[in-house]
Amino acid sequence: MLVTMKNKFTASLLFILVLAGGGALWVGQQGMRLYHEELTQSLNQNIAMYITEEHKLLSNPDNSEAVIQQLAHQAMIINPTTEVYLLDRSGKVIAHALTDKTLQYPSVDLDPVHQFLSGDGGFPLRGINPRTGKQTIFSVSEVRSAEGLQGYLYVILEGEVFDQLQSRIGWSHISQQTFWAVSLILLCALLIGGVVFHRLSHPLGKLACKMDRFFREQMGSSLATDDYCQKEMNEVIQLEKVFNAMSSQIGQQLEQLRESDRLRRELISNISHDLRTPLTTIQSYLETLLIKDSHVSEEDRIAYLQAAIKSCRRLSCLIADLFELSKLESGYTQPVFENFSLAELLQDTVQEFQLEADKKSITLMLQTPESHTQVYADIGLIQRVLDNLIRNAIHHTPCGGRIELSFSSAPSSVQVQVADNGQGINSADLPHIFDRFYQSSTEAKQGSNSSGLGLAIVKRILDLHDCRIEVSSQLNQGTRFQFELPLDINSLESGQQVACV
């Protein structure tokens, strides 16, 4: 069954109408019952008085039962459902006209009798029926003699005959007509309510459908809920799910915008600070050549130009690193995962840096297993990671040093290590080496030409791969960087998770 708002409203209306209809029927029946009792008791309230005025009921106690028989016969002529009882002053039944001679209650509570006689009690006024013990309407009159009050003539207006007739016609023609009339009214109300609810909920359903379509098509999210146009689920729940998903995505986008804005301001600040040095150097040498053009020797001219070119190259490298890191941190650059041979990538990278290492007489070693291990990552970005780590190792390794690249396989990943026996990193600098533009105190003293962005780029690339890089170092003994890459997903066993540390 489709759980739409229309269906919910219709079901609720049906429940309310059935409840209200049942209550109306019950109240109507009770009202009719009370009306009938009030009318019957009002019409017959003097029947006991008329009887006692014509007969001396207690003048001869031995003849009382015969008199009661006669009175009962007369009363039944007036009202066939009556039962006549003669009570003493305490309410005890001393004579009656019942054929079976059985009484459930041998005495009658006189409080209703006194209310009836005083006229204080409004009709219908009920008293106990000695024969059945039920509360029913009655008529009563005092039986008096010269000595005063002798007792009461107690007439039950709805006796056993009435109960038998009532049970026989309980589902009467009038009751059936009333039931079907109420049912027809409820059905008409339900149909009208269903039409009204449909007209009211249809625009809400269309809005839920449009919001769901907008969320999936315009915002390009894979978290969209079930399409209302196909599922016709509850419109309010549909709108709630779409709203929650949209608010979550909008919140993420706003956070990304704030982060991008923060990175932009930081980038501008870093550029203004870090580009000043090479620009100042270039400007100084060019101004010197311009001012002292005729007084500068050819040897100094060449030296000045070489220094300016060196600063230009550093400036170009710094700008390239800045924009690369900015694209990585803004989310503009996203890894394109593919399967490739890590051994071949390491071999190609080592060959690219072989000449640079040879200039410093650094031994560049590559230890690989015999098998060509396949990993699942972005080959271009991982090559950039290896380039930065090897270049950083060459920069910090003295002449005649050694740099070693190796990797080892784990059940679901490959651990890559780049180690050198260079100058190492101070323990105070280790927590900050992946920060942007961070340079150790040693580099600052040596006037390093490093941009300070290489390791920050490495960290960001591995973050995009959900991998963590670790570093260990000791001063004057060397540094080791290690990270893990996931294995080729096709080579893993079924159900095994790809994990990075």
Confidence (pLDDT) at 382: 92
Is residue 321 within 8 A of residue 453, CB to CB? The reply is yes
- State the average pLDDT over residues 237-262: 79
- Confidence class of residue 223 from pLDDT cuts 50, 70 and 90? very low
Of 410 and 371, more confident = 410
What b/e readout covers 195-219, taking b as 16+ CB neighbours within 10 angstroms? eebbeebeebbeebbebbeebbeee
Q: Which residues are bridge partners to 139 per DSSP?
A: 155
Mean pLDDT estimate for the chain: 77
Structural Rg of the chain based on CA atoms: 53
Average pLDDT on 97-125 reads: 81
Query: HSE of 124 in the Cβ direction (CA atoms, 13 Å)?
Result: 21
Higher-pLDDT residue of 297 and 471 is 471
282 vs 101, more confident = 282
Domains and CATH numbers, the chain: 1-43+177-258 (no CATH), 44-168 (3.30.450.20), 275-333 (no CATH), 335-501 (3.30.565.10)
Q: pLDDT tens for residues 171-185?
A: 566 667 777 887 888
Q: Does residue 234 register a pLDDT over 80?
A: no
Bridge partners of 419, per DSSP, are 404, 480
**C-alpha–C-alpha distance, residues 10 and 416, integer Å:** 66
Q: Higher-confidence residue: 446 or 346?
A: 346
> What tens digit of pLDDT does each residue of 56-97 get?
554 555 555 666 666 666 665 556 677 888 888 888 888 776
- Residue 432 structure tokens: 């900050």
CB count in 10 Å sphere of residue 330? 14
What confidence tier does 238 reach under pLDDT thresholds 50, 70, 90? confident
Query: pLDDT tens digits for 140-166?
Result: 888 877 777 878 888 888 877 677 666
Q: Which residues of 447-478 are buried (b: 16+ CB within 10 A; e: fewer)?
A: eeebbbbbbbbbbbbbebbebebebebeeeeb
